[in-house]
Structure 1
Amino acid sequence: MGSAIILLLFFFFFLGVPISFSLGLTSLIGLMSSGYPLDVVVQRIFTGIDNYSLIAVALFIFAGDLMSEGGISRRLVDFADAIIGHFPAGLAMVSILACMFFAGITGSAIAATAAIGGLMIPVMTEQKYAPTFSASLLACAGSIGPIIPPSIPLLVFGQLANASVARLFVGGFVPGILMGLALMVYSYFVGKKRNYRGRDKFAGWSEVWDTGRKAILALVTPIIIIGGIVSGVFTATESGAIAVMYSLLVGMFIYKELTWKKVWQLLKKSAVSTGTVLIVVACASLFVWYLTINQIPQAVAEAMMTFIHSRFALLIVINIILLIVGTFIDTISAVVIFGPLFLPLTQAFGIDVIHYGLILAVNLTIGMCTPPLGVDLFVASAIACLWSSSRPR
């Protein structure tokens, strides 16, 4: 029965049924065929989102929207341009560095791609950068957002796996920074080959100081958020509330680029985004509960252990599966479905839950800039006025 339910889920996916409805319908069919009363469905859906930690998701989404519209992204771009804008493909490297800074504030790939891409792609086009290169690069750079903390996928995984969010956040720094540096090295060589020039010379330390001074309130935000969580001063949820208050104060009273009308519009926008995430989490929690009571994760673990005999081989298999999954299913949905599915198997091989959570996040976010789904790619392509089939290259 378990294998039939999983096949039914993917059948709904390929029919184009929204993921939340696919999860809910599959779970409903499975529970009804097993004789469970329908009130269990409502109870499990409610229980799935009745979690204090999930408030942080809504808060960080709202904070990201406030920071994007409050002038923070532009000041980060100016600061990054002063530091590395003179290198070959300087604008491309500035975009990547700005996305890394922005990732440390919002934790959202789409927010980073939209905020930085909206500023940089038109400028890169004016400077004769190929639009396909600009859009693909920003899509890849934006995908660093869910890896460098604060990270919404890691928040969701921490809640599902009962793992320390603080440790997950600390673990996300190194892979996120390495991905950003790798993109910058790639951009440097592509820039030299295609003659994508940056500014004529180094801006000078005076401009670095001036742009850094203007961007300082944005630059200290990750320190406040992550430092507070790691030091135990406040929880991840409380840090989300602090990020919202900080963004409001900076955007309205210091940068003076936010108005109450704009804040209300952003609140409605973030409410829709949060609802989209939470309905997936709610329906996925019902699906995961169904899998658990039927011991499907344990069955998957036992089946895979018959032909996988080492931790290294298991990690390779999980990486490959998650890379493929990430190209077809959005990140939050994949985290909620596959996070608990492989968790017993990784525990059986002695793989730390933090290590597994980071593997999950990194592989799935790569899918955000990889066709056919490639959400970041669609966002960047829309900004660059390209057909959505543009691919990273």
Structure 2
Amino acid sequence: MTLLIIGAFCVFFMLGWPVVLAIMLPAIVYILLNDLPFQLVGQRMTYALDSFPLVAVPLFILVGNLMNQAGITERIFRFADTLVGRVPGGLGQVNIFSSLIFSGMSGAALADVGGLGRIEVKAMTKRGFTPQFSGALTCASAVVGPIFPPSIPLIIYGSVTSVSIVQLLLAGIIPALICVVLLMLTVAVMSRWRKFPRSERWSRPSEIWRDLKPAAPALLTPVLLVLGMLLGFFTPTEAAAVTVVYVLLISAFVYRTLSWAHVRFAAYETLKSTSAILIIVSAAAIFGWIMAIEQVPQVFAQQLLSLSTDPLVLLLIVNVILLLVGMILDSTTATLLVIPIIAGPLHMAGVDPVHLGVVAIFNLMLGLLTPPMGLALFLITDIARVSMRAILRELVPFYIPLVGTLLLITFFPEISLWLPKMLR
């Protein structure tokens, strides 16, 4: 029965059915064939959504939409250009640095691509970069968003595995910075033979200060979040609400660019994105409940532990599994369906659940850049107006720093665990 359920899901998914239907229909058929109360469908869906940490998801999505409407993304990009535009690689470096700053407020890779992507690709194309390179770099740098706080995927991971979300968010800081450094080094090396344009001179302190002032309120957002959580002023979910209020205040009273029309549009876009995420969460809860009844996690744990009991070997195996899964499932679905199955045996083998969270989420984020389900690829091809093949060709050099970051955080757990251990 288990194989039939999983097989049906795979068939429906490969046929191009919506993920929600591909998950729910096999689950409903299972319930009917086993004479279980049909009310279980609504019960399990409701129970899955009755989660306080999940409240942070729509709130952080709203933050990203509000910033786009208020023009904050443009101020971030302008400041980044003033600060690092002279570095070899020019606007390529600005692209990466901007993604790090923006991720500290939006918490989502697709928000980065959709929000900053249009500004970045347009500016880079005007400076002489090709649209396909600009698009590829925008996709690669967006991977930083989901592991730097506030991270929506890490919040979902924490709610699924009951791991401390505060520790998960702290654990993503250093890996995100390492990824940024490696991406910037890659662009600097590529600039030597591609002769990328860059600013004619280093910005003067007065110019840096000029562009820092309008960007400063936005730059303080991640600082506000991390300090607030570290000092115990609010939980990650409450931090999301605080961030929404903060962004509304600076947009209305500091930048004075936010109107009621902007708020309505941001709320509408948030509603659409949140609905898409949470309906998958609720559908996956039914599927996961069936997997638990059929003891799939226990069987998988036995099989995985029979291969090895060495934590590092198991992590490498899981990395391969997640890389393959990330190619065919979006990150939210993969987190909800696959993570609960692999988390148990790795915890039993001694892998720290916080370390596993950062490794797993970063791994799944690479799926945004790999066909056939690379959502960032679909989004950037529309923004840059180029083919996916052209984007993938330019992405090849960036897989090196991205996979390199994955291997570093896999082999050296302290990279992720140093900051969280300060709270323990």
TM over 0.5: yes
Which residues of structure 2 form unaligned runs of 5+? 397-424
Alignment of 1:34 with 2:31, yes or no, is: no
Count of residues in correspondence between the two structures:
393
1:30 CA displacement? 2.1
Match of 1:76 in 2: 76
In structure 2, distance between residues paired with 1:33 and 1:352:
39
Match of 1:254 in 2: 254
Match of 1:309 in 2: 309
In structure 2, distance between residues paired with 1:115 and 1:325:
27
With the length of structure 2 as denominator, give the TM-score of the two structures.
0.90
In structure 2, distance between residues paired with 1:170 and 1:211:
28
**Do 1:58 and 1:274's aligned partners in 2 also have CA atoms closer than 8 Å?**
yes
Match of 1:264 in 2: 264
1:168 CA displacement? 0.2
Match of 1:339 in 2: 339
* Greater Cα shift, 196-205 or 1-10: 1-10
The letter for the 2-side match of 1:272 is K
In structure 1, distance between residues paired with 2:191 and 2:130:
11
The 5-angstrom pairing of residues 90-129 of structure 1 reads: 90-129=90-129
1:246-278 per-position Cα deviation (integer Å, ceiling 9, x unaligned): 111111221122110111111011001000000
1:201-241 per-position Cα deviation (integer Å, ceiling 9, x unaligned): 10111111221122110111001112212221101111111
1:68-124 per-position Cα deviation (integer Å, ceiling 9, x unaligned): 221221111111111110122110100100000000111011111122211111121
**Do 2:128 and 2:197's aligned partners in 1 also have CA atoms closer than 8 Å?**
no
Alpha-carbon spacing, 1:198–1:339, altered in 2? closer, same or farther (3 Å): same
1:286 CA displacement? 1.0
**Do 2:143 and 2:362's aligned partners in 1 also have CA atoms closer than 8 Å?**
no
State the identity %. Answer: 32
Match of 2:419 in 1: none
The 5-angstrom pairing of residues 126-275 of structure 1 reads: 126-275=126-275
In structure 2, distance between residues paired with 1:103 and 1:221:
10
Taking only aligned residues, the RMSD between alpha carbons, in angstroms, comes to 1.2
**Do 1:104 and 1:150's aligned partners in 2 also have CA atoms closer than 8 Å?**
yes
In structure 1, distance between residues paired with 2:110 and 2:386:
17
The letter for the 2-side match of 1:139 is C
With the length of structure 1 as denominator, give the TM-score of the two structures.
0.97
1:16 CA displacement? 0.9
1:3 CA displacement? 2.6
Match of 2:414 in 1: none
Structure 1: which 4+ aligned runs deviate by more than 4 Å? none
* Greater Cα shift, 184-193 or 302-311: 302-311
The letter for the 2-side match of 1:83 is L
The letter for the 1-side match of 2:170 is V
SS in 2 for 1:306: helix
In structure 2, distance between residues paired with 1:24 and 1:229:
36
1:283 CA displacement? 0.4
In structure 2, distance between residues paired with 1:363 and 1:7:
24
Which residues of structure 1 form unaligned runs of 5+? none
The letter for the 1-side match of 2:151 is S
The letter for the 1-side match of 2:7 is L
In structure 1, distance between residues paired with 2:352 and 2:88:
41
